[in-house]
Structure 1
Amino acid sequence: MRAARFVSTVALSMCMAATVAGCADGADRKDAGESRRVPRSATAQDDLLRGAESALVRRCLTGRKVAPPTPPADDGDATGAGTGSRAGTGSGRGSRAAQHPQSAPQRQFPYGIDDPAWAAEHGFGSAAGTGRPARGGGTGDARRTQRAGSAPRGQQSGKKAVAEQRRLSDALFGTGRRELSTRTATGYVVRANSDGCLAEAQRDLYGDQARWFRTEVAVNNLEAAAHQRVTRDPAYRAALARWARCIAPVREVEDPGELRSAWQRRARDLGPREATGLQRRYAVAEARCVRSTDLARTGARLEKRHAAEVRAEFAEEIADHRRMRERGLRVAVRAGF
């Protein structure tokens, strides 16, 4: 699950196309851009690149006489509660109410919840990460992944709307055979076109769109690769087996992700209060067993080692990605985005 989540970040830049309607193209700000400097913080740099790419995509769509998509509406139900509660997204009376705790802060628990007090208050809440082994393999088509998400809300029916959506998708992501293909460290194959407006914007910013695609895929999946290696490490597997024995009196499951799935199945037949109570009971049991078996500590310790190994293996891609990113920042500043 976590691998899939990080593979999906390959297409994050494509999500920008869904919000380009609110971006200016920067054409009338070039003079101001000459006196600006590349921002220092990573967050500001990310914002600059996102804005520049979105503006370039909008300019390209306008040139192709294609109306940009409208920004997606803010929908609280669509945001979910993080990976930790994805098991609760099924239908049923109890699951919907229990899976969106309004006050639960976002927490990262990549190897299972290890805070019993937090679990007692929030259940699975917004706990990101399930401790379930990441699974490599499979294929990913960045265009197909994003096509549904780029459609303007309320325009999902009717032949005309379908035709407009197809035209927009073709303009954004390109057509025909996916010329670009690369395999992530977790085993996923990701493909994309090189003739859409997104590809054109990336060429303008980074110089070589094919190389940017390959390095972006690699860099965005480094953390997933390290996590996958942890979950396959014998030391982690031994700790996970201890955790499963510890949790068995409450529920016989193999890992924290499976515990969430078990809660989902039971919550479908429960009212909101009962579903919430069961969720908290399971979450507290998970946390206590994670603590007593050192599951989270083992995962964190192993992740440091595996992350260093992954970064060493992909050092060339990381350096190449950094160089192209720096080029993109300079281009964005000079253009006044």
Structure 2
Amino acid sequence: MVRAARFVSTVALSMCVAATVAGCADGAGRDDAGETRSVPRSARAQDDLLKSAESALVRRCLTERKITPPPAPRPAANGTGQVGTAQDGGSPPQRRFPYGIDDPAWAAEHGFGSAAGTGAEARPTQQARQAPPQERRPGKKAMAAQRRLSDALFGTGRRELSTRTATGYVVRANSDGCLAEAQRELYGDQARWFRTEVAVNNLEAATHQRVIRDPAYRTALARWSRCIAPVQKAGDPGELRSAWQRRASDLEPRDATSLQQRYAVAEARCVRSTALARTGTELEKRHAADVREAYAGQIADHRRMRERGLRIAVLQGL
């Protein structure tokens, strides 16, 4: 579930920002040291700027409401902001395998590892983190503080905003918290931003959904299922992972790891021999174009609001 923020009147500031943006089409501004700043060119740098600007505005809003903002995340030593990479002895490197692992050597080394995508239809999940017995549960005071922070950040009461994703799931949000206030300041219309952001963020999932429902993919998947059957009966790679998890729960860690590698290698060999991944990738190109055409209007709206947010972030030095 997505939650969002309460309307806090910022008419004077919005008018000022709009006038400034209108008078500075290239989005150039100056930082605190007086150095000229401009909108970055790369998509990744633009994403980072918008995240930074949104975070700065949220923290400002929380401070104004006398709520202590949460600690800012510490960047990793490698500068990626990610923790636990293969280089520092953490989890294995993540690879995208949306239509099943197709690299037997990788599977032999990492098992299922951090392979993103299983070839099965993605569905929203709710994951509840259970604290180990030795962890002390937060006291009432700490829980009350967490609740105040959550309410100030995401809003309270009925979720006024609602939209349906391209994959058919309904996402709702509030419009009465600091997150929504920051989005209004950056993008102008928080409700419209919410709808287009949800739509654009789910285009890849919508494309994947169309691929795995395509008759050509279903034919390749049936071949894969017959290929994997001598090792483990499974309708798709997602079912193979589930079967491993069920069996691994009764095994010693070393045996569970060995079984995982065996299943992962079998998956990869069958994906290779049945051309499952290649079929999915080829279908993806066609379906992605169809999905983007169907959502062209929302994609254009999203791009325009991003451009507005980037200009404001630069002009305000966020």
* 1:127 and 2:115 aligned: yes
Cα distance between partner residues in 2 of 1:33 and 1:189: 46
Aligned residue number for residue 267 of structure 1: 248
Cα distance between partner residues in 2 of 1:283 and 1:33: 56
More helix, by proportion: 1
Equivalent pair of 2:84/2:90 in contact (CA under 8 Å): no
Distance 1:256 1:312, change over 3 A: same
Equivalent pair of 1:134/1:231 in contact (CA under 8 Å): no
* AA of the residue aligned to 1:334: L
* AA of the residue aligned to 1:212: W
Deviation at 1:221, TM superposition (A): 0.3
Equivalent pair of 2:98/2:116 in contact (CA under 8 Å): yes
Cα distance between partner residues in 1 of 2:117 and 2:172: 26
Aligned residue number for residue 37 of structure 1: 38
Aligned residue number for residue 50 of structure 2: 49
Distance 1:263 1:172, change over 3 A: same
Q: 2:156 is paired with a residue of what secondary structure?
A: coil
TM-score normalized with structure 2 length: 0.81
Aligned residue number for residue 166 of structure 2: 185
Equivalent pair of 2:31/2:37 in contact (CA under 8 Å): no
Q: 1:186 is paired with a residue of what secondary structure?
A: coil
Cα offsets for 1:240-260 (capped at 9, x unmatched): 111111100000111111111
TM-score normalized with structure 1 length: 0.76
2:101 to 103, 113, 120: 113
Cα offsets for 1:283-316 (capped at 9, x unmatched): 1110111111111011111111111110000000
2:302 to 321, 330, 335: 321
Structure 2 gap ranges (5+): 6-29, 77-81, 130-134
Q: Which moved more, 1:247-256 or 1:268-277?
A: 268-277
* 1:206 and 2:194 aligned: no
Q: 1:249 is paired with a residue of what secondary structure?
A: coil
Cα distance between partner residues in 2 of 1:234 and 1:116: 26
Identity %: 77
* AA of the residue aligned to 1:128: A
Deviation at 1:43, TM superposition (A): 1.3
Q: 2:171 is paired with a residue of what secondary structure?
A: strand
Distance 1:336 1:79, change over 3 A: closer
Cα offsets for 1:215-252 (capped at 9, x unmatched): 00000000000001111111111111111111000001
Structure 1 gap ranges (5+): 1-7, 15-28, 82-100, 149-153
Cα distance between partner residues in 2 of 1:160 and 1:109: 44
Deviation at 1:104, TM superposition (A): 2.8
Structure of greater Rg? 2
Distance 1:161 1:322, change over 3 A: same
Cα offsets for 1:124-146 (capped at 9, x unmatched): 112111111234xx8x9xxxx89
* AA of the residue aligned to 2:241: R
